[in-house]
Chains A and B, each alone.
Chain A
Amino acid sequence: MRTTAIAGLALLGLAISAYLTWVHYAGIEPVCTGISDCERVQGSEYAELVGIPVALLGVAGYAALLGSLWVRVELTALLSYFALAFSAYLTWAELFRIDAICQWCVVSALTTLAIAVLATLRALGAPLHHRPLS
């Protein structure tokens, strides 16, 4: 059940990151709600880390999370903590450095939070069931 939920959330994250990666390379503006300013976030220097768009890092991260579901519960947990820590950093940058928020990033940050919680519960619960994929 938790595995399915993590897989679903990881797919959601993957879809968002893939969309933002496409937007980044196509040089177009992401679809954005009224209160957010995606263009500013996407165009900021925080949109890349050592030349790699963070959206592309998101694609890699969510794909790795998805793949880890077939490996060890601890690996999924570790990857989810990486994702959560990185999301926390990006959210901090949005709020305190860029002074703009993008709703895609908020959804992605909440997704990583949910995945981290579920991955923790899954790791704690897993030995009781001995099921690699439930």
Chain B
Amino acid sequence: MDRFSVFAPRLVEKAENFTSGHRACQGCAEALAVRLVMKALGRDTIVAMATGCMEIVSSPLPTTAWMVPWIHVAFENASAVVSGCEAGMKALMRKGKVPEKKITFVAMGGDGATADIGMGQISGVMERGHDMIYICYDNEAYMNTGIQRSSSTPYGASTTTSPAGKYSIGQHTQKKNLPQIAVAHNIPYVATACPSFPFDLMQKVKKASSIQGPAYIHILSVCPTGWRIPIDESIRYGRLAVDTGVFPLYEVVDGSYKMTYKPYRLRPVNDYLKGQGRFRHLTDKETGVIQDRVTKEYEGLLKRCEGR
């Protein structure tokens, strides 16, 4: 956000690499995130995508929304397949069969594919140090199969497999902190982003693509269907997530933290929670617990950003 003074829309590429006509739900912030990411990456990109909402909505045979080489693979495999693509292109370039040029290799997956089933392989690709970007579109549940909980579902959220009711408050475990897992791999670039902050998101994607080695970008993608919010509110809820400190925007370059957008003062978490159907059952006491945790984590992050 440090270059926000420039009138940025003029700098944004006009070409759409993730085109319209796909079947995403109304108000899908994930589709917006993919569109922005693809704008930032440009055409010299190879994408491997795990099964999920974006794969289903963008590629019903024989149509496709993708203007770049794009391969869809089973749920857990996007990162492994993109390592294969990267190795394959490296070999072809070395043999002179493909002209040498900078190609960005991108693996994409939802939070289920990233935090749950694909975790091992993502760890593998980061450890091997492939020159690729892994982008996680986090809508905080398995939305594609009908809103089942994932390990990225926040505490207290009601989903179909963590229903709130007499016996349960819904999801009773805390959200898995994926960016921190990526940071622990000592990879050159880790960032969090949200399509409600489009220029920040695109800048991070460009940075990730310019850096040699594995990069990880975690994008909070508001899902009106699964979060049970009105379809015209997804951008606002993305902003609220950031402004309340639930989802801080930061980047970690070679281990040093930087807050890329710092709200002047954090809004109470309740502003973010109260309108969402999935948190409707929460009492003041429970939102208090969530508030405490968010404050604690946010302060911890601030400390790391100040290098303490």
A and B interact: no
